[in-house]
Structure 1
Amino acid sequence: MLNERSEKRWEKMRAKGKRHFVVNSGVLRWGLITAVLYSIFVTYLNNGLAGILLNDFLRTLLIAVIVFSIGGYFWGIWVWKWQEKNHRKEQ
């Protein structure tokens, strides 16, 4: 169940459109943030603190940005559909 504040926030997001939501929330926010955090974590596990300065980090980051951006696209679509379903239930 969405409260009134969440409902208003969703209405604003909804007005911008599905594509805007998927790109901004899925690809850019979720995808890129996850890619950076993943790259730091994996590089640290493999090489220690000094590994963050190595080319391994950049290579890992490049691959992660591609993979997590694609994942973020699908995550954004799923969240949009889920939010729309909840929105319809409330009305």
Structure 2
Amino acid sequence: MRKKSERQKEYETDIFNNWQIKRDRGKRHFIIRFGIFTWGVSTFAVYWVLILIFGKITGDMNLVNWGQMLFTLLFFAAFGAIYGALLWKRNEKIFKKKFPYGRKK
């Protein structure tokens, strides 16, 4: 297992190399793509697959409810947006540590 410091260094290197491209697309695009879709919708899908599997195993398919499904989609999308905003802030901090005045293209 790799040490935490090695993983952190690898993550920072990835930010130094790729952040400018993601940054140029804008904060809103980043939050929608990486927060809402990548985290929120994928977590929603995994959650409902597990609910359906659990319902099938127990024989209680009353667990599936369209209202609850819509609520969980909105819930995971909202938290995905929060996650995306926090991730944006973290990546900006790491990027500005190495390139405080921006990076030349």
| TM-score normalized by the length of structure 1 | 0.80
- Counterpart of 1:43 in structure 2 is 52
Q: Mind listing any 5+ residue stretches in structure 1 that lack a counterpart?
A: none
- Counterpart of 2:39 in structure 1 is 30
Pick the structure with greater CA Rg: 2
Deviation at 1:43, TM superposition (A): 2.7
Shift in CA distance, 90/57, structure 1 to aligned 2, threshold 3 Å: farther
Shift in CA distance, 57/50, structure 1 to aligned 2, threshold 3 Å: farther
Q: Provide the secondary structure at the position in 1 that maps to 2:78.
A: helix
Is 1:74 the counterpart of 2:56? The answer is: no
Alpha carbons 1:39, 1:57 under 8 Å: kept: no
Structural RMSD (CA): 2.4
- Counterpart of 2:93 in structure 1 is 85
Task: Supply the AA of the counterpart residue of 1:29.
Answer: T
Q: Mind listing any 5+ residue stretches in structure 2 that lack a counterpart?
A: 1-8, 100-105
| Consecutive aligned runs of 4 or more in structure 1 exceeding 4 Å deviation | 57-60
| TM-score normalized by the length of structure 2 | 0.70
Task: Supply the AA of the counterpart residue of 1:34.
Answer: T
